[in-house]
């Protein structure tokens, strides 16, 4: 049983660099979500996709952030010109349908550290 | 706007004690969903339960039980006869529905760090 897969698990980079994370959802899950979690806090919603369409973006998603899901399968989250405040765990989740009662299944996350 | 409050930042109990984790939510929607997730030290969020706003029946699953009270906007989680393996951060989350019937991202509380001492 393959769950949600995220790559890399850890990323350390210098301030100002660009970084890209990848998420592979559970097969045939058409909803894919990105969240950010900082230490001692719950995950905060960033954006989600229904198949390849990006349907909503949180106000947390500044212009330096961009997400794609080109073929409705895997997704990438890119952060340009990283800042210290971007240091966090970035979580990806997927769900089977767009019904609210379907649970979101989370990956292990990508921990980003900005030096 | 929706909001989830988990007032207990940290709870520490001795193994075999019962423990209740509180969750209070705010929403203007009449249709919504509530969830509990467990985040062990390894970091992965593990889904535990979901409940929709029209189903106020309590649920029991082994040592876990959930008490949903719409009148007080609460969805509390009780672990009976706690075990060391229950040690984790537990998150309560809320999902509202938009007019099309689907759901947006989850709104999480800040979590309760549960420590079960042997």
CA distance A33 to chain B (A): 7
Beta carbons within 8 Å of B15's beta carbon, 6+ residues apart: B82, B83, B84, B116, B117, B118
- Mean residue pLDDT of chain B comes to 90
Residue of A37, A40, A42, A91 to mutate, interface with B, max B Cβ within 10 Å:
A42
Q: What is the pLDDT of residues B41-97, one digit of tens each?
A: 888 999 999 888 888 888 888 999 999 999 999 999 999 999 999 999 999 999 876
Nearest residue of B to residue A48 by CA position? Answer: B105
Beta partners for B4?
B25
DSSP code of residue A85: G
Q: What is the pLDDT of residues A19-32, one digit of tens each?
A: 999 999 999 898 99
Q: What angle do CA B1, A86, B98 make, to 5 degrees?
A: 25
Contacts of A29 in chain B (CB under 8 A): none
Residue A46 near residue A36, CB atoms below 8 Å: yes
For the residues A85-103, what does the mean pLDDT come to? 86
Contacts of B52 in chain A (CB under 8 A): 100-101
């Amino acid at each position: 049983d393959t769950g949600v897969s995220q790559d890399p698990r850890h990323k350390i980079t210098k301030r100002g660099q660009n970084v890209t994370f990848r998420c592979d959802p559970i097969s045939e899950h058409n909803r894919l979500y990105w969240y950010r979690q900082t230490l001692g806090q719950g995950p905060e919603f960033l954006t989600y996709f229904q198949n390849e369409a990006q349907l909503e973006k949180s106000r947390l998603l500044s212009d330096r952030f961009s997400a794609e899901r080109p073929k409705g399968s895997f997704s990438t989250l890119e952060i340009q010109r990283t800042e210290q405040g971007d240091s966090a765990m970035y979580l990806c989740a997927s769900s089977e349908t767009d019904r609210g009662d379907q649970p979101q299944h989370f990956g292990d996350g990508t921990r980003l550290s900005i030096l | 706007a929706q909001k989830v409050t988990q007032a207990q930042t940290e709870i520490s109990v001795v193994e075999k004690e019962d423990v209740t984790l509180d969750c209070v939510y705010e929403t203007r929607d009449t249709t919504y969903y509530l969830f509990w997730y467990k985040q062990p030290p390894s970091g992965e969020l593990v889904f535990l339960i979901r409940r929709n706003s029209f189903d106020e029946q309590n649920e029991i699953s082994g040592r876990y039980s959930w008490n949903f009270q719409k009148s007080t906007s609460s969805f509390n989680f009780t672990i009976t006869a706690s075990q060391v393996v229950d040690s984790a951060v537990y998150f309560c989350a809320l999902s509202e529905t938009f007019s099309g019937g689907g759901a947006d991202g989850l709104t999480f509380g800040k979590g309760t760090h549960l420590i079960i001492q042997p």
